[in-house]
Amino acid sequence: MKFIKEDLAEQVAAAVAGRKQIVIRGGGTKAFYGNAIAETEQLVELDVTPYTGISSYEPSELVMTARCGTLLSEIEAALDEQNQRLAWEPPHFGERATIGGAIATGLAGPGRMAAGGASDFVLGTVLLNAEGQQLRFGGTVMKNVAGYDMSRLLTGSMGVFGPILEVSFKVLPKPICEVTLQRHCSLKEAFECFGQWQAKALGISASAWIPEGDTQQGVLYLRVSGAEPAVRQACGVVGGEQVDEQIAKDLWRSLREHTHPFFGDTVWRVAVPPLADTVNESVPLLEWGGAQRWLRQVSDVTNIRHAAAQRGGHATLFRAGTGVSQPVDGVFQPVSAGVAAITRRLKSNLDPLGTFYSGRLFRNI
């Protein structure tokens, strides 16, 4: 794979020499996410998909290292053979989803509420900078105190600082036992349930409240994972009707991949503390115990962002449907002046010439 890395470095060097900006392209399954790319003659693509393969995998150490173009499906198949998994359940949004795209976007699925996000599992990264150098951050162990935790910073950076060539990450064993329960209840009752269960050790690994149409009535789903006696005890506490195993798997996959009927052309994502009150007049789909809220209708962008910020969160235009314009200040909620200043300094240090296009993540950075 050395020649591929050298080829990528040469492409970066050519872009620098030609005073071009680079847009990093992987499998393309998450191309919809982020600010629209401004089409100009100054932009060139850097295709990182040829750089593939699992570099190392130590099942006993629960650590894997893979190159950026490696398909998520390939990684999950290798883990499945060892009865292990990617605990943050990264969404694919297509068959060509890669580990590089999963880390660059930092997106997580239903398991995020219990296991943590992508950044909680990244141990080390290799970044290709604008000078063609490979910068190594972190390693392959959880306890690493050598310098700044750049690997976590790169998670979710959307290629602002350059392509992540390689990533080392922690994996986890699959649960011994897993049960999904359901109960019909209102939105208000769902929040009450989340509040009751929040402080209890019940092994809830995923939760969702899905509305019936645009009404305040819906179905609350809970996934309980762990040892069989603990799962049995938790089921007795939370109650509800057990869902068939295959139907449950299909449900959680549909929420992860946004193939559930709730998700239409346009989807807003609001992240707030779990028990914060409503931020919008439309009926949401809830995940993560109420911390992640999906909305199909947002009439006033300024109002919903203000409401999210007032509750300690933020609002993102996750997917813009046909005919829907992105907000002037971008799909992501604008960061504070202090965070913007820190970001500019980081960008200046890691990419002083502004070689790597940053517009997908930030406007005016």
Kindly report, residue by residue over 182-210, the tens digit of the pLDDT. 999 999 999 999 999 988 889 999 999 99
Distance CA 87, CA 189 (A): 28
Residue 199 domain boundaries: 177-319
Together in a domain, 94 and 190 = no
* pLDDT for 115: 95
Looking at the fold, whether 142 and 191 belong to one and the same domain comes out as: no
Q: Do residues 96 and 204 share a domain?
A: no
Q: Is residue 356 a part of any domain in this protein? A: no
Q: Do the Cβ atoms of 255 and 110 come closer than 8 Å?
A: yes
> Domains in the chain: how many in total?
2
Please enumerate in sequence order all residues whose Cβ is within 8 A of that of 336, keeping only pairs 6 or more positions apart, or say none: none
Is 90:112 a contact under the CB 8 Å cutoff?
Answer: no
pLDDT 10s digits, 280-308: 878 999 999 999 999 998 889 999 999 99
Nearest partner of 273 among 297, 309, 316, 224, judged by Cα: 309
Low-confidence ranges of the chain (pLDDT < 50): 145
Is 40 inside any structural domain?
Answer: yes
Task: Annotate 105-157 with DSSP letters as a single string.
Answer: H----TTHHHH--GGGTEEEEEEE-TTS-EEEEE-SSS---SS--HHHHHTT-
User: CA neighbours within 13 Å on the CB side: how many for 210?
Assistant: 16
Same domain, 142 and 244: no
Residue written as token pair 């290292």 = 65
Report phi then psi at 14, rounded to 5. Answer: -65, -40
Place of tokens 């950075």: 365
Domain membership of residue 361 (yes or no) is: no
Q: Please give the pLDDT value at position 141.
A: 61
Same domain, 97 and 157: yes
Same domain, 165 and 295: no
Q: Do 167 and 184 share a domain, yes or no?
A: no
Name beta bridge partners: 58: 63
State whether 271 and 151 are in the same domain. no
Cα separation of 177 and 164, whole Å? 35
Q: Are residues 10 and 147 in the same domain?
A: yes
pLDDT at position 148 is 60
CB 275 within 8 Å of CB 195: yes
* E strand or H helix at 4: helix 2-17
Per DSSP, which regions of 21-105 are E strands?
21-25, 43-47, 54-58, 63-67, 84-85
Please name the helix (run of DSSP H) or strand (run of DSSP E) that holds residue 7, with its range, or none: helix 2-17
- Contact assessment for residue 286 and residue 209, using Cβ atoms and an 8 Å cutoff: yes
